[in-house]
Amino acid sequence: MMSQSLLLAAAGAACITVLAALWRSGKFLRALLFSAVTGNLALFGVAYLGAFTGVTIAPGPISVSIATVLGIPGVILMLALRLIFRA
């Protein structure tokens, strides 16, 4: 239970950091839209290719939110955590 809380806190901190960086860029909406589109395309690509690779991420509300805010690095992070913890 402690590790799940720690992971959620780290994910929340990462989301706040990314949103702050996007805000400071001066092109917040365009950068957020680009991040959301590329992240979700990567997430659904991983879900589709999971049948071939054996590593899948189900596109649920949490994973879509992470992919939307963090983009491709968020999808890579979810893949790495999936491989590390084999959940």
pTM for the model: 0.71
Could you give phi then psi for residue 60, rounded to 5 degrees? Answer: -95, -175
The DSSP 8-state label assigned to residue 31 in this structure reads: H
Structural domain count, the chain: 1
Tokens of 44: 């659904």
pLDDT tens digits, 28-68: 788 888 888 999 999 999 989 888 888 888 888 888 988 88
pLDDT tens digits, 69-84: 888 988 988 888 888 8
The total number of residues written for the chain in this structure: 87
Model confidence at 26, pLDDT cuts 50, 70, 90, reads confident
Tokens of 22: 């996007």
Range of the domain at 24: 2-85
Q: Could you identify the residue written with the tokens 């659904």?
A: 44
Give alpha helix (H) positions in the chain: 2-24, 28-53, 61-70, 72-85
